[in-house]
A and B are shown apart, each in its own frame.
Chain A
Protein backbone atom coordinates (compact mmCIF):
# COMPACT_ATOMS: atom_id res chain seq x y z
CA UNK A 1 0.00 0.00 0.00
CA UNK A 2 1.32 3.45 -0.91
CA UNK A 3 -0.36 6.59 0.39
CA UNK A 4 -0.01 10.16 -0.84
CA UNK A 5 -0.89 12.99 1.53
CA UNK A 6 -1.58 16.36 -0.06
CA UNK A 7 -0.27 18.75 2.56
CA UNK A 8 -1.61 22.19 3.36
CA UNK A 9 0.59 25.06 4.40
CA UNK A 10 0.30 28.78 5.01
CA UNK A 11 3.38 30.71 4.01
CA UNK A 12 6.42 29.00 5.46
CA UNK A 13 4.38 27.02 8.00
CA UNK A 14 3.18 23.50 7.35
CA UNK A 15 -0.38 23.21 8.68
CA UNK A 16 -0.58 21.49 12.03
CA UNK A 17 -3.30 19.22 10.61
CA UNK A 18 -0.67 17.41 8.48
CA UNK A 19 0.45 15.44 11.54
CA UNK A 20 -3.17 14.40 12.11
CA UNK A 21 -3.56 13.23 8.52
CA UNK A 22 -0.30 11.25 8.78
CA UNK A 23 -1.74 9.63 11.89
CA UNK A 24 -4.80 8.53 9.90
CA UNK A 25 -2.56 7.27 7.08
CA UNK A 26 -0.57 5.17 9.56
CA UNK A 27 -3.81 3.52 10.65
CA UNK A 28 -4.41 2.43 7.06
CA UNK A 29 -0.78 1.33 6.84
CA UNK A 30 1.78 1.45 4.06
CA UNK A 31 4.43 3.76 2.63
CA UNK A 32 3.45 7.36 3.34
CA UNK A 33 4.52 10.15 1.00
CA UNK A 34 3.74 13.83 1.59
CA UNK A 35 3.34 16.26 -1.28
CA UNK A 36 4.16 19.90 -0.56
CA UNK A 37 3.59 22.44 -3.30
CA UNK A 38 3.89 26.15 -3.88
CA UNK A 39 6.48 28.89 -3.95
CA UNK A 40 9.48 29.09 -1.57
CA UNK A 41 8.58 25.88 0.21
CA UNK A 42 11.99 24.64 1.40
CA UNK A 43 11.04 25.21 5.04
CA UNK A 44 7.65 23.52 4.57
CA UNK A 45 9.28 20.48 2.94
CA UNK A 46 11.74 20.20 5.84
CA UNK A 47 8.89 20.37 8.37
CA UNK A 48 7.05 17.60 6.50
CA UNK A 49 10.18 15.45 6.38
CA UNK A 50 10.48 15.60 10.17
CA UNK A 51 7.09 14.01 10.81
CA UNK A 52 7.56 10.45 12.07
CA UNK A 53 6.54 7.62 9.77
CA UNK A 54 6.87 9.53 6.52
CA UNK A 55 8.85 7.65 3.86
CA UNK A 56 9.32 10.47 1.37
CA UNK A 57 8.47 14.12 0.81
CA UNK A 58 7.66 15.26 -2.72
CA UNK A 59 8.40 18.91 -3.26
CA UNK A 60 6.74 20.74 -6.15
CA UNK A 61 8.29 24.19 -6.23
CA UNK A 62 6.47 26.31 -8.80
CA UNK A 63 4.97 29.82 -8.74
CA UNK A 64 1.82 28.51 -10.47
CA UNK A 65 1.12 26.41 -7.36
CA UNK A 66 1.43 29.33 -4.97
CA UNK A 67 -2.26 29.56 -4.07
CA UNK A 68 -3.15 25.91 -4.55
CA UNK A 69 -5.83 26.56 -7.16
CA UNK A 70 -7.76 23.32 -7.62
CA UNK A 71 -7.04 23.20 -11.37
CA UNK A 72 -3.29 23.57 -10.81
CA UNK A 73 -3.30 20.96 -8.06
CA UNK A 74 -5.12 18.55 -10.38
CA UNK A 75 -2.51 19.14 -13.07
CA UNK A 76 0.26 18.52 -10.53
CA UNK A 77 -1.16 15.40 -8.91
CA UNK A 78 -2.77 13.47 -11.77
CA UNK A 79 0.49 12.38 -13.44
CA UNK A 80 1.63 10.75 -10.17
CA UNK A 81 -1.78 9.63 -8.90
CA UNK A 82 -1.80 6.19 -10.55
CA UNK A 83 1.16 5.11 -8.43
CA UNK A 84 -0.83 5.44 -5.20
CA UNK A 85 -3.46 3.24 -3.59
CA UNK A 86 -4.74 6.07 -1.42
CA UNK A 87 -4.75 9.86 -1.86
CA UNK A 88 -5.48 11.82 1.30
CA UNK A 89 -5.95 15.43 2.33
CA UNK A 90 -7.29 17.24 5.38
CA UNK A 91 -11.05 17.94 5.25
CA UNK A 92 -10.34 21.67 5.36
CA UNK A 93 -11.39 24.16 2.68
CA UNK A 94 -7.97 23.44 1.12
CA UNK A 95 -8.54 19.68 0.84
CA UNK A 96 -12.25 19.81 0.04
CA UNK A 97 -11.55 22.08 -2.90
CA UNK A 98 -9.01 19.77 -4.52
CA UNK A 99 -9.67 16.08 -3.89
CA UNK A 100 -13.04 15.62 -5.68
CA UNK A 101 -11.38 16.79 -8.90
CA UNK A 102 -8.87 13.95 -8.52
CA UNK A 103 -11.51 11.38 -7.57
CA UNK A 104 -13.55 12.23 -10.68
CA UNK A 105 -10.48 11.82 -12.92
CA UNK A 106 -9.63 8.50 -11.26
CA UNK A 107 -13.27 7.37 -11.44
CA UNK A 108 -13.38 6.61 -7.73
CA UNK A 109 -16.04 7.64 -5.20
CA UNK A 110 -14.33 9.89 -2.65
CA UNK A 111 -14.90 9.26 1.06
CA UNK A 112 -15.24 12.65 2.75
CA UNK A 113 -14.40 13.75 6.26
CA UNK A 114 -13.53 10.40 7.83
CA UNK A 115 -13.41 10.23 11.64
CA UNK A 116 -12.43 6.58 12.01
CA UNK A 117 -10.70 3.75 10.17
CA UNK A 118 -12.04 0.22 10.69
CA UNK A 119 -9.83 -1.44 8.08
CA UNK A 120 -7.92 -0.28 4.99
CA UNK A 121 -11.19 -0.12 3.02
CA UNK A 122 -13.80 0.65 5.71
CA UNK A 123 -14.25 4.07 7.26
CA UNK A 124 -16.50 5.98 9.63
CA UNK A 125 -17.84 9.34 8.55
CA UNK A 126 -20.42 11.70 10.02
CA UNK A 127 -23.55 12.41 8.00
CA UNK A 128 -26.48 14.78 8.60
CA UNK A 129 -24.21 17.24 10.37
CA UNK A 130 -22.93 14.63 12.78
CA UNK A 131 -26.40 13.45 13.78
CA UNK A 132 -25.48 9.98 12.51
CA UNK A 133 -22.29 8.08 11.77
CA UNK A 134 -22.08 5.93 8.65
CA UNK A 135 -19.69 3.03 8.30
CA UNK A 136 -18.82 2.69 4.62
CA UNK A 137 -16.74 0.19 2.72
CA UNK A 138 -15.14 1.31 -0.51
CA UNK A 139 -15.39 -1.03 -3.49
CA UNK A 140 -12.99 1.12 -5.52
CA UNK A 141 -9.41 -0.10 -5.93
CA UNK A 142 -8.01 3.41 -5.53
CA UNK A 143 -9.23 5.54 -2.67
CA UNK A 144 -9.51 9.29 -2.31
CA UNK A 145 -10.13 10.38 1.26
CA UNK A 146 -10.44 13.58 3.23
CA UNK A 147 -9.69 13.32 6.94
CA UNK A 148 -11.25 15.28 9.77
CA UNK A 149 -8.03 16.27 11.55
CA UNK A 150 -9.50 16.59 15.04
CA UNK A 151 -10.58 12.94 14.95
CA UNK A 152 -6.99 11.65 14.83
CA UNK A 153 -4.29 12.41 17.40
CA UNK A 154 -1.31 14.00 15.67
CA UNK A 155 1.87 12.01 15.11
CA UNK A 156 4.40 13.32 17.61
CA UNK A 157 7.52 11.25 16.91
CA UNK A 158 10.19 12.72 14.69
CA UNK A 159 11.45 11.46 11.36
CA UNK A 160 13.96 12.35 8.69
CA UNK A 161 12.45 11.55 5.31
CA UNK A 162 14.27 12.27 2.03
CA UNK A 163 12.94 15.18 -0.05
CA UNK A 164 12.51 14.68 -3.79
CA UNK A 165 11.70 17.39 -6.34
CA UNK A 166 8.73 16.89 -8.66
CA UNK A 167 7.89 18.95 -11.72
CA UNK A 168 4.64 20.73 -12.54
CA UNK A 169 2.98 21.47 -15.85
CA UNK A 170 0.74 24.51 -15.69
CA UNK A 171 -2.97 23.80 -16.05
CA UNK A 172 -4.61 24.92 -19.28
CA UNK A 173 -7.80 25.83 -17.43
CA UNK A 174 -8.69 29.46 -17.00
CA UNK A 175 -8.50 30.29 -13.31
CA UNK A 176 -6.39 32.83 -11.49
CA UNK A 177 -5.75 33.98 -7.96
CA UNK A 178 -6.59 37.66 -7.39
CA UNK A 179 -6.17 38.45 -3.71
CA UNK A 180 -6.39 37.08 -0.20
CA UNK A 181 -7.95 39.03 2.64
CA UNK A 182 -6.42 37.05 5.47
CA UNK A 183 -8.32 37.15 8.70
CA UNK A 184 -6.30 39.76 10.59
CA UNK A 185 -5.89 38.40 14.06
CA UNK A 186 -3.18 37.61 16.57
CA UNK A 187 -5.36 34.88 17.98
CA UNK A 188 -4.81 31.20 17.15
CA UNK A 189 -6.66 29.69 14.21
CA UNK A 190 -10.11 28.48 15.23
CA UNK A 191 -9.83 24.86 14.08
CA UNK A 192 -6.45 24.21 15.74
CA UNK A 193 -6.74 26.39 18.87
CA UNK A 194 -6.27 24.76 22.29
CA UNK A 195 -8.98 26.97 23.76
CA UNK A 196 -12.10 28.28 21.99
CA UNK A 197 -14.55 30.82 23.43
CA UNK A 198 -17.80 31.06 21.47
CA UNK A 199 -20.63 33.52 21.79
CA UNK A 200 -24.24 33.08 20.76
CA UNK A 201 -27.35 35.14 20.24
CA UNK A 202 -27.40 35.81 23.98
CA UNK A 203 -24.35 38.05 23.60
CA UNK A 204 -26.79 40.51 22.08
CA UNK A 205 -24.69 42.73 19.81
CA UNK A 206 -21.52 43.20 17.84
CA UNK A 207 -20.17 45.52 20.56
CA UNK A 208 -20.87 43.01 23.32
CA UNK A 209 -18.71 40.48 21.51
CA UNK A 210 -15.74 42.48 22.83
CA UNK A 211 -16.41 40.66 26.08
CA UNK A 212 -16.04 37.25 24.38
CA UNK A 213 -12.87 38.43 22.68
CA UNK A 214 -11.45 39.71 25.97
CA UNK A 215 -12.01 36.32 27.60
CA UNK A 216 -10.41 34.59 24.60
CA UNK A 217 -7.36 36.84 24.85
CA UNK A 218 -7.09 36.20 28.57
CA UNK A 219 -6.92 32.45 27.87
CA UNK A 220 -4.91 32.69 24.64
CA UNK A 221 -7.83 31.19 22.77
CA UNK A 222 -9.67 31.63 19.50
CA UNK A 223 -13.13 33.18 19.17
CA UNK A 224 -16.05 31.28 17.71
CA UNK A 225 -19.76 31.91 17.35
CA UNK A 226 -23.03 30.11 16.84
CA UNK A 227 -24.89 30.43 13.57
CA UNK A 228 -27.49 32.55 15.36
CA UNK A 229 -24.80 35.11 16.28
CA UNK A 230 -23.48 35.08 12.71
CA UNK A 231 -26.97 35.45 11.21
CA UNK A 232 -27.66 38.34 13.57
CA UNK A 233 -24.61 40.07 12.12
CA UNK A 234 -22.62 40.17 15.36
CA UNK A 235 -19.55 38.49 13.87
CA UNK A 236 -18.16 37.35 10.49
CA UNK A 237 -19.14 33.97 9.10
CA UNK A 238 -15.64 32.50 9.36
CA UNK A 239 -16.11 32.48 13.14
CA UNK A 240 -19.03 30.10 12.85
CA UNK A 241 -18.79 26.79 14.70
CA UNK A 242 -21.32 24.15 13.68
CA UNK A 243 -22.70 21.97 10.95
CA UNK A 244 -22.55 24.77 8.39
CA UNK A 245 -19.39 26.31 9.85
CA UNK A 246 -16.23 24.91 11.36
CA UNK A 247 -15.76 21.76 13.37
CA UNK A 248 -13.56 22.26 16.40
CA UNK A 249 -12.30 19.95 19.15
CA UNK A 250 -10.18 22.06 21.51
CA UNK A 251 -9.09 21.05 25.00
CA UNK A 252 -11.39 23.70 26.43
CA UNK A 253 -14.54 25.05 24.78
CA UNK A 254 -16.50 27.79 26.53
CA UNK A 255 -19.98 28.44 25.12
CA UNK A 256 -21.33 31.81 26.23
CA UNK A 257 -24.96 32.73 25.63
CA UNK A 258 -25.40 29.76 23.29
CA UNK A 259 -28.56 27.69 23.63
CA UNK A 260 -27.05 24.62 21.97
CA UNK A 261 -28.97 23.93 18.77
CA UNK A 262 -28.16 20.58 17.07
CA UNK A 263 -26.43 22.52 14.34
CA UNK A 264 -24.01 24.10 16.84
CA UNK A 265 -23.41 20.93 18.85
CA UNK A 266 -22.34 19.18 15.64
CA UNK A 267 -19.38 21.53 15.48
CA UNK A 268 -18.07 21.34 19.03
CA UNK A 269 -19.22 18.27 20.92
CA UNK A 270 -15.89 16.49 20.47
CA UNK A 271 -14.18 19.15 22.60
CA UNK A 272 -12.37 17.63 25.58
CA UNK A 273 -13.89 19.94 28.22
CA UNK A 274 -17.04 21.98 27.60
CA UNK A 275 -18.12 24.91 29.74
CA UNK A 276 -21.51 26.55 29.23
CA UNK A 277 -22.54 29.91 30.61
CA UNK A 278 -26.19 30.69 30.05
CA UNK A 279 -28.95 32.26 32.11
CA UNK A 280 -31.54 29.78 30.87
CA UNK A 281 -31.05 26.64 32.91
CA UNK A 282 -33.17 24.66 30.42
CA UNK A 283 -30.79 25.43 27.53
CA UNK A 284 -29.79 22.19 25.72
CA UNK A 285 -26.12 23.23 25.84
CA UNK A 286 -26.06 22.19 29.52
CA UNK A 287 -26.74 18.57 28.52
CA UNK A 288 -23.33 18.35 26.83
CA UNK A 289 -21.43 20.66 29.17
CA UNK A 290 -19.00 19.27 31.74
CA UNK A 291 -19.34 22.47 33.75
CA UNK A 292 -22.51 24.46 33.39
CA UNK A 293 -22.90 27.84 35.04
CA UNK A 294 -26.41 29.22 35.14
CA UNK A 295 -25.72 32.95 35.23
CA UNK A 296 -26.09 36.19 33.33
CA UNK A 297 -23.12 36.27 31.00
CA UNK A 298 -22.71 40.02 31.56
CA UNK A 299 -21.97 39.29 35.22
CA UNK A 300 -20.11 35.99 34.85
CA UNK A 301 -17.76 36.77 31.97
CA UNK A 302 -16.29 40.00 33.44
CA UNK A 303 -15.84 38.20 36.76
CA UNK A 304 -14.13 35.32 34.99
CA UNK A 305 -11.79 37.69 33.14
CA UNK A 306 -10.92 39.45 36.38
CA UNK A 307 -10.25 36.32 38.40
CA UNK A 308 -8.32 34.29 35.82
Chain B
Protein backbone atom coordinates (compact mmCIF):
# COMPACT_ATOMS: atom_id res chain seq x y z
CA UNK B 1 0.00 0.00 0.00
CA UNK B 2 1.21 3.44 -0.92
CA UNK B 3 0.59 6.36 1.45
CA UNK B 4 0.76 10.02 0.55
CA UNK B 5 1.40 12.51 3.35
CA UNK B 6 1.00 16.23 2.55
CA UNK B 7 3.07 18.43 4.88
CA UNK B 8 3.44 22.14 5.47
CA UNK B 9 6.21 24.46 6.57
CA UNK B 10 4.82 26.73 9.27
CA UNK B 11 6.05 29.02 12.00
CA UNK B 12 7.28 26.93 14.94
CA UNK B 13 4.52 26.43 17.48
CA UNK B 14 6.62 27.89 20.30
CA UNK B 15 7.13 31.20 18.53
CA UNK B 16 5.03 34.19 19.50
CA UNK B 17 3.92 35.73 16.21
CA UNK B 18 4.41 39.37 15.29
CA UNK B 19 1.89 41.27 13.21
CA UNK B 20 3.57 43.39 10.51
CA UNK B 21 3.45 47.09 11.29
CA UNK B 22 1.52 47.81 8.06
CA UNK B 23 -1.09 45.20 9.10
CA UNK B 24 -0.64 43.28 5.87
CA UNK B 25 0.18 39.96 7.54
CA UNK B 26 2.49 38.15 9.93
CA UNK B 27 6.21 38.87 9.97
CA UNK B 28 7.95 35.61 9.07
CA UNK B 29 11.44 37.07 8.53
CA UNK B 30 14.10 35.39 10.70
CA UNK B 31 11.48 33.31 12.50
CA UNK B 32 12.01 29.65 13.32
CA UNK B 33 10.02 27.50 10.89
CA UNK B 34 9.05 23.88 11.46
CA UNK B 35 6.94 21.05 10.22
CA UNK B 36 3.28 21.62 11.10
CA UNK B 37 2.79 19.51 14.29
CA UNK B 38 -0.30 17.70 13.00
CA UNK B 39 1.61 16.76 9.81
CA UNK B 40 4.44 15.33 11.87
CA UNK B 41 1.87 13.07 13.53
CA UNK B 42 0.63 12.06 10.06
CA UNK B 43 4.15 11.06 8.97
CA UNK B 44 4.74 9.11 12.17
CA UNK B 45 1.52 7.19 11.62
CA UNK B 46 2.46 6.38 8.02
CA UNK B 47 5.91 5.20 9.14
CA UNK B 48 4.33 2.96 11.78
CA UNK B 49 2.12 1.43 9.10
CA UNK B 50 5.21 0.77 7.03
CA UNK B 51 7.02 -0.78 9.98
CA UNK B 52 3.97 -2.99 10.56
CA UNK B 53 4.32 -4.24 6.98
CA UNK B 54 1.05 -2.62 5.87
CA UNK B 55 2.47 0.27 3.86
CA UNK B 56 5.11 -0.25 1.18
CA UNK B 57 5.95 3.33 0.23
CA UNK B 58 5.48 6.76 1.82
CA UNK B 59 5.56 9.86 -0.36
CA UNK B 60 5.58 13.29 1.26
CA UNK B 61 4.47 16.36 -0.64
CA UNK B 62 4.64 20.01 0.28
CA UNK B 63 3.52 23.24 -1.35
CA UNK B 64 5.77 26.08 -0.31
CA UNK B 65 8.98 28.03 -0.78
CA UNK B 66 12.33 26.53 -1.77
CA UNK B 67 13.15 26.22 1.92
CA UNK B 68 10.22 23.84 2.48
CA UNK B 69 12.74 21.21 1.32
CA UNK B 70 13.94 21.31 4.94
CA UNK B 71 10.56 20.08 6.15
CA UNK B 72 10.44 17.40 3.46
CA UNK B 73 13.91 16.23 4.58
CA UNK B 74 12.66 16.13 8.18
CA UNK B 75 9.74 13.99 7.05
CA UNK B 76 12.14 11.68 5.21
CA UNK B 77 14.34 11.48 8.30
CA UNK B 78 11.33 10.24 10.25
CA UNK B 79 10.87 7.58 7.58
CA UNK B 80 9.18 8.81 4.40
CA UNK B 81 10.74 7.38 1.23
CA UNK B 82 10.70 10.34 -1.11
CA UNK B 83 9.49 13.90 -1.40
CA UNK B 84 7.81 16.25 -3.83
CA UNK B 85 7.94 20.03 -3.50
CA UNK B 86 5.45 22.14 -5.40
CA UNK B 87 7.43 25.35 -5.29
CA UNK B 88 5.88 28.78 -4.90
CA UNK B 89 6.89 32.08 -3.39
CA UNK B 90 3.30 32.99 -2.56
CA UNK B 91 2.38 33.11 1.12
CA UNK B 92 0.87 29.91 2.50
CA UNK B 93 -0.60 31.32 5.69
CA UNK B 94 -2.98 33.99 4.43
CA UNK B 95 -3.51 35.95 1.24
CA UNK B 96 -1.67 33.46 -0.95
CA UNK B 97 -2.27 29.83 -1.84
CA UNK B 98 -5.48 28.98 0.00
CA UNK B 99 -6.85 25.60 1.17
CA UNK B 100 -9.07 25.15 -1.91
CA UNK B 101 -6.08 25.69 -4.23
CA UNK B 102 -3.93 23.38 -2.10
CA UNK B 103 -6.61 20.67 -2.32
CA UNK B 104 -6.73 21.06 -6.12
CA UNK B 105 -2.94 20.77 -6.40
CA UNK B 106 -2.92 17.71 -4.13
CA UNK B 107 -5.63 16.16 -6.29
CA UNK B 108 -3.35 16.60 -9.31
CA UNK B 109 -0.43 15.01 -7.42
CA UNK B 110 -2.67 12.09 -6.42
CA UNK B 111 -3.59 11.66 -10.10
CA UNK B 112 0.11 11.06 -10.77
CA UNK B 113 0.97 9.03 -7.68
CA UNK B 114 -2.19 6.94 -7.14
CA UNK B 115 -1.82 6.35 -3.39
CA UNK B 116 -4.25 4.04 -1.56
CA UNK B 117 -4.39 6.30 1.46
CA UNK B 118 -3.69 9.94 2.32
CA UNK B 119 -2.86 10.82 5.92
CA UNK B 120 -2.56 14.52 6.70
CA UNK B 121 -2.82 17.00 9.57
CA UNK B 122 -6.31 18.19 10.51
CA UNK B 123 -5.16 21.79 10.26
CA UNK B 124 -2.06 23.90 9.98
CA UNK B 125 -1.26 26.07 12.95
CA UNK B 126 -0.81 29.22 10.86
CA UNK B 127 -4.16 29.89 9.18
CA UNK B 128 -6.06 27.33 11.32
CA UNK B 129 -8.61 26.70 8.55
CA UNK B 130 -9.11 22.96 9.00
CA UNK B 131 -10.32 22.51 5.41
CA UNK B 132 -7.77 20.93 3.10
CA UNK B 133 -8.29 17.24 3.94
CA UNK B 134 -12.07 17.44 3.66
CA UNK B 135 -11.84 19.47 0.43
CA UNK B 136 -9.39 16.98 -1.07
CA UNK B 137 -11.70 14.08 -0.19
CA UNK B 138 -14.60 15.95 -1.77
CA UNK B 139 -12.72 16.75 -4.99
CA UNK B 140 -11.54 13.15 -5.32
CA UNK B 141 -14.97 11.75 -4.41
CA UNK B 142 -13.32 9.75 -1.62
CA UNK B 143 -14.57 9.08 1.91
CA UNK B 144 -12.90 10.87 4.82
CA UNK B 145 -12.14 10.36 8.48
CA UNK B 146 -11.18 13.58 10.22
CA UNK B 147 -9.62 14.19 13.67
CA UNK B 148 -8.23 10.65 14.01
CA UNK B 149 -6.90 9.47 17.37
CA UNK B 150 -6.59 5.81 16.34
CA UNK B 151 -6.25 4.08 12.98
CA UNK B 152 -6.65 0.36 12.36
CA UNK B 153 -6.19 -1.02 8.86
CA UNK B 154 -8.51 -3.87 7.92
CA UNK B 155 -7.65 -4.91 4.35
CA UNK B 156 -9.42 -2.52 2.00
CA UNK B 157 -10.94 -0.66 4.96
CA UNK B 158 -9.69 1.59 7.71
CA UNK B 159 -11.36 1.80 11.10
CA UNK B 160 -10.79 5.23 12.62
CA UNK B 161 -11.49 6.59 16.07
CA UNK B 162 -12.38 10.27 15.78
CA UNK B 163 -12.10 12.90 18.49
CA UNK B 164 -15.38 14.76 18.36
CA UNK B 165 -16.85 17.30 20.78
CA UNK B 166 -19.04 14.79 22.59
CA UNK B 167 -16.54 11.91 22.91
CA UNK B 168 -14.94 9.37 20.61
CA UNK B 169 -16.62 8.18 17.43
CA UNK B 170 -15.51 5.12 15.49
CA UNK B 171 -16.17 5.03 11.75
CA UNK B 172 -15.05 2.75 8.96
CA UNK B 173 -14.11 3.97 5.50
CA UNK B 174 -13.27 2.13 2.30
CA UNK B 175 -9.96 2.86 0.59
CA UNK B 176 -8.78 4.93 -1.09
CA UNK B 177 -9.62 7.55 1.49
CA UNK B 178 -8.38 10.56 3.44
CA UNK B 179 -7.55 10.54 7.14
CA UNK B 180 -6.75 13.72 9.06
CA UNK B 181 -4.83 13.49 12.31
CA UNK B 182 -5.54 14.82 15.78
CA UNK B 183 -3.01 15.26 18.57
CA UNK B 184 -3.68 11.97 20.33
CA UNK B 185 -2.93 9.70 17.38
CA UNK B 186 0.71 9.17 18.31
CA UNK B 187 3.82 10.82 19.61
CA UNK B 188 6.21 11.46 16.73
CA UNK B 189 9.74 10.12 17.17
CA UNK B 190 12.86 12.25 17.00
CA UNK B 191 14.81 11.58 13.84
CA UNK B 192 18.17 9.97 14.63
CA UNK B 193 21.36 11.46 13.20
CA UNK B 194 21.99 8.48 10.86
CA UNK B 195 18.42 8.83 9.58
CA UNK B 196 18.88 12.56 9.06
CA UNK B 197 21.99 11.78 6.99
CA UNK B 198 20.16 9.07 5.05
CA UNK B 199 17.27 11.44 4.35
CA UNK B 200 19.61 13.78 2.50
CA UNK B 201 20.10 11.13 -0.16
CA UNK B 202 16.44 10.30 -0.64
CA UNK B 203 14.82 11.52 -3.89
CA UNK B 204 13.18 14.95 -3.80
CA UNK B 205 11.44 16.26 -6.92
CA UNK B 206 10.81 19.97 -7.31
CA UNK B 207 7.97 21.15 -9.50
CA UNK B 208 7.14 24.80 -10.13
CA UNK B 209 3.58 25.61 -9.09
CA UNK B 210 2.91 27.14 -12.53
CA UNK B 211 3.66 23.75 -14.11
CA UNK B 212 0.86 22.04 -12.18
CA UNK B 213 -1.71 23.94 -14.21
CA UNK B 214 -4.05 24.90 -11.37
CA UNK B 215 -5.42 28.42 -10.95
CA UNK B 216 -4.26 29.49 -7.49
CA UNK B 217 -5.57 33.07 -7.53
CA UNK B 218 -6.68 33.88 -3.96
CA UNK B 219 -10.43 34.06 -3.42
CA UNK B 220 -10.13 35.91 -0.12
CA UNK B 221 -8.74 39.41 0.04
CA UNK B 222 -6.92 40.06 3.29
CA UNK B 223 -7.97 43.58 4.23
CA UNK B 224 -5.94 43.73 7.42
CA UNK B 225 -4.25 41.65 10.08
CA UNK B 226 -4.20 42.97 13.61
CA UNK B 227 -3.31 42.03 17.14
CA UNK B 228 -6.24 40.69 19.15
CA UNK B 229 -7.65 43.12 21.72
CA UNK B 230 -5.66 42.69 24.91
CA UNK B 231 -7.51 41.66 27.99
CA UNK B 232 -7.12 43.88 30.99
CA UNK B 233 -6.24 41.58 33.84
CA UNK B 234 -3.81 41.71 36.68
CA UNK B 235 -6.31 42.09 39.53
CA UNK B 236 -5.33 40.23 42.69
CA UNK B 237 -7.14 38.99 45.76
CA UNK B 238 -5.39 38.08 48.99
CA UNK B 239 -7.55 35.26 50.30
CA UNK B 240 -10.19 32.70 49.39
CA UNK B 241 -12.73 34.73 51.38
CA UNK B 242 -11.99 37.85 49.35
CA UNK B 243 -12.23 35.82 46.13
CA UNK B 244 -15.67 34.47 47.04
CA UNK B 245 -16.83 37.95 48.05
CA UNK B 246 -15.68 39.46 44.73
CA UNK B 247 -17.24 36.70 42.65
CA UNK B 248 -20.55 37.08 44.51
CA UNK B 249 -20.82 40.82 44.92
CA UNK B 250 -18.62 42.45 42.28
CA UNK B 251 -18.61 40.07 39.29
CA UNK B 252 -21.94 38.49 40.30
CA UNK B 253 -21.11 35.18 38.64
CA UNK B 254 -21.82 32.85 41.56
Does A133 reach chain B (CB closer than 8 Å)? yes
Select one of A107, A109, A288 contacting B231, CB under 8 A: A288
A10 vs B167: C-alpha distance when bound (angstroms): 12
Closest CB-CB distance, A247 to chain B, in whole Å? 11
In the complex where A97-B134, A175-B143, A289-B235 touch, is A131 in contact with B165 (Cβ < 8 A)?
Answer: no
- Which of A22-30, A56-64, A88-96 forms part of the interface with chain B? A88-96
Instruction: Give residues 213-239 of B contacting A (CB, 8 Å).
Output: 218-228, 231, 233-239
Closest CB-CB distance, A97 to chain B, in whole Å? 5
**Which residue, of B13, B164, B183, has the highest number of chain A Cβ atoms within 10 A?**
B164
A112 vs B131: C-alpha distance when bound (angstroms): 8
A181 vs B134: C-alpha distance when bound (angstroms): 23
Does B208 reach chain A (CB closer than 8 Å)? no
Instruction: Give residues 263-288 of A contacting B (CB, 8 Å).
Output: 263, 269, 272-275, 286-288
Q: Is the CB of A129 within 8 A of B125?
A: yes
The closest CB in chain B to the CB of A172 belongs to B141
In the complex where A112-B131, A237-B149, A292-B234 touch, is A307 in contact with B247 (Cβ < 8 A)?
Answer: no
Chain A 154-185: CB-based contact to B (< 8 A → 1; otherwise 0): 00000000000000000001111111111100
Q: For B147, list chain A residues within 8 Å (CB).
A: 93, 97
Q: Is the CB of B131 within 8 A of A292?
A: no
Does A103 reach chain B (CB closer than 8 Å)? yes
A286 vs B169: C-alpha distance when bound (angstroms): 37
Q: Is the CB of A189 within 8 A of B166?
A: yes
Select one of B138, B163, B166, B223 contacting A10, CB under 8 A: B166
The closest CB in chain B to the CB of A69 belongs to B171
Q: For A211, list chain B residues within 8 Å (CB).
A: none
Select one of A70, A108, A182, A286 contacting B236, CB under 8 A: A286
Does B94 reach chain A (CB closer than 8 Å)? yes
Closest CB-CB distance, B32 to chain A, in whole Å? 14
Q: Is the CB of B128 within 8 A of A291?
A: no
Closest CB-CB distance, A290 to chain B, in whole Å? 5
Q: For B129, list chain A residues within 8 Å (CB).
A: 110, 112-113
Does B46 reach chain A (CB closer than 8 Å)? no
A308 vs B134: C-alpha distance when bound (angstroms): 47
A250 vs B221: C-alpha distance when bound (angstroms): 32
Select one of A69, A182, A272 contacting B167, CB under 8 A: A182
Q: For A109, list chain B residues within 8 Å (CB).
A: 98-100, 218-220
Instruction: Give residues 82-132 of A contacting B (CB, 8 Å).
Output: 92-94, 96-105, 107-113, 122, 126-132
Q: For B47, list chain A residues within 8 Å (CB).
A: none
Q: For B65, list chain A residues within 8 Å (CB).
A: none
Select one of A93, A101, A287 contacting B138, CB under 8 A: A101
Select one of B136, B138, B183, B233 contacting A274, CB under 8 A: B233
Instruction: Give residues 171-227 of B contacting A (CB, 8 Å).
Output: 171-174, 177, 182-184, 218-227
Does A33 reach chain B (CB closer than 8 Å)? no
Q: Is the CB of B138 within 8 A of A105?
A: yes
Does A153 reach chain B (CB closer than 8 Å)? no
Q: For B116, list chain A residues within 8 Å (CB).
A: none
Q: Is the CB of B253 within 8 A of A273?
A: yes
Q: For A138, list chain B residues within 8 Å (CB).
A: 219-221
Does B57 reach chain A (CB closer than 8 Å)? no
Q: Is the CB of A174 within 8 A of B143?
A: yes
Interface, chain A (partner B; CB < 8 A) = 10, 67, 69-71, 74, 92-94, 96-105, 107-113, 122, 126-140, 173-183, 189, 191, 195, 219, 237-238, 243-244, 246, 251-252, 262-263, 269, 272-275, 286-295, 300, 303-304, 307-308
Q: A93-B164, A98-B134, A180-B168 are in contact. List 11 more A-B contacts (CB 8 A).
A: A127-B126, A128-B93, A129-B125, A133-B225, A135-B226, A182-B166, A189-B165, A189-B166, A252-B253, A252-B254, A291-B235
Q: 13 A-B residue contacts at CB 8 Å?
A: A74-B138, A97-B134, A97-B146, A109-B219, A109-B220, A113-B130, A135-B222, A138-B220, A176-B171, A179-B170, A238-B165, A291-B251, A292-B236
8 A-B pairs closest in CB distance = A174-B174, A100-B134, A109-B219, A104-B138, A104-B135, A101-B138, A175-B143, A100-B131
